[in-house]
Amino acid sequence: MKLIVNADKNWGIGKSNQLLVRIPNDMKFFQQMTTGHVIVMGRKTLESFPGKMPLAKRTNIVLTTDKDYNGHGAIVVGSKEELMEELEEYESDEIFIVGGESIYRMMLPYCDTAYVTKLDYAYDADTYFPNLDEMEDWEMVEEGEEQTYFDIEYYFRTYRRKK
């Protein structure tokens, strides 16, 4: 399994159920990486998408404890166990974890690759991603050249779980 995340200097990923910043090149990268694949998210992440609707050309799986939740075409599961059972239907390399914080933390042990858009700025955040730079079993294996969007500097990084 893989995950994809946009994180600031302090590994902040959101505030008030919104991304900290929307960078067109990052959105394009997310679309390229996840189109045609399975994306796994929590309810709040789905509700942060345009129109609160599942993303097109992907299998959307939403984990929520709300048994009556209408996923508008997304597959809705009610527990980690149910999620893991559902994910057995797909090749592990086809699955991307896309947020939010609790889903990332729950699924990180099952992931072997992390695509991180790392912002060189600290925002006022209320949700965070685990700091992969401080985790012994993860290493950054690739970092793209510095990118800029107005005054924001950012990098596309790839982390892999050490064998």
Count: domains in the chain: 1
pLDDT tens by residue, 49-91: 999 999 999 999 999 999 999 999 999 999 999 999 999 999 9
Q: Which domain holds residue 96?
A: 2-161
Where on the phi/psi map is residue 145: left (φ > 0), alpha (ψ -120 to 50), or beta?
A: beta
pLDDT at 144 over 90: yes
**Per-residue pLDDT, 35:** 98
Q: What is the CATH number of the domain that holds 88?
A: 3.40.430.10
pLDDT at 145 over 90: yes
| Residue 76 CA: distances (Å) to CA of 7, 39, 40, 42, 54 | 26, 12, 10, 10, 11
pLDDT tens by residue, 84-120: 999 999 999 999 999 999 999 999 999 999 999 999 9
**Per-residue pLDDT, 124:** 98
Dihedral angle computed from the Cα positions of residues 41, 155, 108 and 103, in that order, rounded to the nearest 10 degrees: -20
**Per-residue pLDDT, 157:** 98
Q: Tokens 């809705």 sit at which residue? A: 76
**Per-residue pLDDT, 163:** 86
Statement: the pTM of the whole predicted model exceeds 0.85: yes
Residue type, 70: N
At a CB cut-off of 8 Å and minimum separation 6, what does 106 contact? 80
